[in-house]
Amino acid sequence: MGKLLLKLRGLFHILLRSDLTYMKVLKGIISLIVPIAIGLLLGLGLKQYVISANFVHGGSMAPNLKTGQVLTTYRLMDIKHNSVIIFNAHGEDPQATNKTELYVKRVIGLPGDTVESKNGQIYVNGKAINQSYISYYQRTKGTGNWDLESLSTSWQHNQNVSRVPKGKYFVLGDHRTISNDSRYWGFVDKDKVNGVTKAFPFQKNHQKVNDEEAVN
């Protein structure tokens, strides 16, 4: 009987040690997984609601932005005159058949603005704006002469308007001669905007992208 009790006691200690080892391993796994899970959730939350990274594709914003350049997009940043934005072009540009197709353009007109291009100058609410971020050729022949009312006659929506409607933006690419922008298909709805995008400080021409005040 005594030998049996000793054997049972030994078995109990083995099971106890095994259980303690199991719990130690489990705690180690949990301590590793939890921070990773929290990091992933925070990362997804930041991407969806605060900040995301995007790549430039195409030359419509050249020379200030080039294909392959990495941009940081801020979803909560206020949109101002000359802000460079990224938006979903599907439903805005008839040629954007991909439902997730993104465009990057510069905001020229805010809701309520009048916008006119004449002889190399763009007038917003009757006041000439600074376009030092692009060349003389792009300001003149690249942009053309027009106002919102004349442009809108060829659009599918918002025809015969003289001002940028509420909740909309008028956008242009910096490389005006090739840019497919608001001149050809109309305004960008605010709900389509992913956010204001910024170039990294070490990238060429970053001030012409990042600093709205410098180009006002």
Q: What is the spatial distance between Cα 96 and Cα 93, in angstroms, rounded to a whole number?
A: 5
Nearest-CA neighbor of 62 among 18, 116, 106?
106
Active-site position among 105, 168, 192, 208: 105
Rg (CA), the chain: 28
Cβ burial of 183 (10 Å; 0-12, 13-18, 19+) is buried
Q: Is 182 a catalytic residue?
A: no
Q: One of 60, 83, 117, 182 is an active-site residue; which one?
A: 60
Q: Please give the backbone phi and psi of residue 195, each rounded to the nearest 5 degrees, phi first.
A: 155, 180
Residue 150 annotated to the active site: no
**How far are the Cα atoms of 39, 140, 141, 188 from residue 208, in angstroms, in the given order?**
34, 19, 21, 22
- The residues facing 54 across adjacent strands are 71
The residue with tokens 């430039």 is: 56
Tell me 213's DSSP state.
G
Q: Using CA atoms, how far apart are residues 106 and 155, in angstroms rounded to an integer?
A: 20
- Overall size of the chain counted in residues: 216
| Lookup: tokens for 29 | 């796994």
Q: Give dist(CA 105, CA 181) in Å, integer.
A: 8
The residues annotated with a catalytic role in the active site are 60, 105
